[in-house]
Amino acid sequence: MIRKACNADRSAIGKIYCETWKEAYKNLLPDDYLLKLNQDFCMPKSENLTNYLIAETDNAAVGIINYGVSRDNEIDKSGEIRAIYVLPQFWHKGFGTELFLAAKSALKKLNYTSVYLWVLAENASAIKFYEKMQMCPLNVKRNINIGGTDLVEIKFESDL
């Protein structure tokens, strides 16, 4: 089931960020950086949760997606998928697809006509997932630094 997030979800969101980062980025980011991540550090503290959706099963949150207005001050017509994380033990069960489709539909209702996102160039599994979601890679890259590691992100886009 996909539902809107509420304040009671803050710690569950922190857990999903933290546990997913530790598994998904274990070969991309330094061990000591990932070791330091914990639920408290990763949970959204004061951020409005309006644009978070939760994937839930057996009354437990197992995935999140955060979408909304572009953080890059780009063309107004494009909404952004800012984060999508599913707990590793629930990968490949369809939760990511459900979250992604629900966020696209929410962006459409907000009158966006396209959606974009950034993904680490080395995150091959997420790239496969986005391609399955019919997102197209653009010839646009940016450099980012996470925990002292220099990385490259690729931009993906699709019409809504």
Ligand X SMILES: CC(C)(COP(=O)(O)OP(=O)(O)OC[C@H]1O[C@@H](n2cnc3c(N)ncnc32)[C@H](O)[C@@H]1OP(=O)(O)O)[C@@H](O)C(=O)NCCC(=O)NCCS
Q: Which amino acid is present at 127?
A: I
Q: How far is the CB of 134 from ligand X (least distance, A)?
A: 11
Q: How far is the CB of 88 from ligand X (least distance, A)?
A: 7
Site for ligand X, rule CB under 6 A:
20, 24, 84-86, 91-97, 119, 123, 125-126, 128-129, 132
Nearer to ligand X, 69 or 127 (CB): 127
Nearer to ligand X, 111 or 134 (CB): 134
Nearer to ligand X, 110 or 124 (CB): 124
How would you write 48-89 as a 3-class SS string?
CCCCEEEEEECCEEEEEEEEEECCCCCCCCEEEEEEEEECHH
Q: Which residue is nearest to ligand X (CB)?
A: 96
Of 94, 140, 96, 147, which Cα lies nearest the Cα of 121? 140
The per-type count for the chain, helices as H runs and strands as E runs, is 5, 7
Q: Half-sphere exposure (CA, 13 Å, Cβ side) for 144?
A: 15
Q: How far is the CB of 4 from ligand X (least distance, A)?
A: 18
Nearer to ligand X, 112 or 129 (CB): 129
Q: How far is the CB of 77 from ligand X (least distance, A)?
A: 22
